Amino acid sequence: MQKIAPCLWFNGNAEEAAEFYMSVFSASRIVTTMHYPEAGPGPKGKVLAITFEIEGQEFMALNGGPQFTFTPAISLFVHCASQEEVDRYWTKLTEGGGSPWQCGWLKDRFGISWQIVPDSLGDMLRDRDDAKASRVMAAMMKMVKLDLAQLERAYRGE
């Protein structure tokens, strides 16, 4: 068990969200499911919380109600080794009502914000050659889904 795990507040669809994320990431599993007892604020037997794991990261999904919603102030950052990985996660996470944003950000159908980013982008942006890093930043700022080949061309000055 992780010492610290994010708890995501849903409005009655925590189980559906956990199942969706497990369909997106192959290395995922349900850890535990907790149901409302008779004394709970929800109907007895309905899912109160579900703990799931994605790529070794534990999350709790709580059916808390409509009081709170997600904002982009917190996002989940996905490290991608290739353009194929960027494309795969981008497609799956925008399915069924997700919406793309600028610079590799998207919001899934549950309202959670994600950053789908090729690992090499960080290396390019941290380059000591400011001209290279600036070209990459300028190229990235024009993108919605990140295009690794285009970022690499900007890095090389092509």
What pLDDT is stored for residue 149 in this prediction?
98
- Going through 83-132 in order, the beta strands assigned E by DSSP cover 99-100, 105-107, 113-118
137: containing domain: 70-157
Q: Do residues 17 and 87 share a domain? A: no
What pLDDT is stored for residue 1 in this prediction?
72
The C-alpha atoms of residue 133 and residue 141 are separated, in whole angstroms, by 12
The C-alpha atoms of residue 21 and residue 5 are separated, in whole angstroms, by 16
The residues, ordered by sequence, that sit 6+ positions from 49 with a Cβ below 8 Å of its Cβ are 14, 33, 34, 60, 61, 62, 63
Q: Do residues 47 and 80 share a domain? A: no
Q: Do residues 139 and 76 share a domain? A: yes
The C-alpha atoms of residue 104 and residue 119 are separated, in whole angstroms, by 12
What pLDDT is stored for residue 62 in this prediction?
97
What pLDDT is stored for residue 42 in this prediction?
84
Q: pLDDT tens digit string along 98-134?
A: 999 999 999 999 999 999 999 999 999 999 999 999 9
Residue 81 pLDDT more than 90?
A: yes
**Residue 71: which of 16, 25, 113 has the closest Cα?**
113
Q: pLDDT tens digit string along 2-42?
A: 899 999 999 999 999 999 999 999 999 999 999 999 988 88
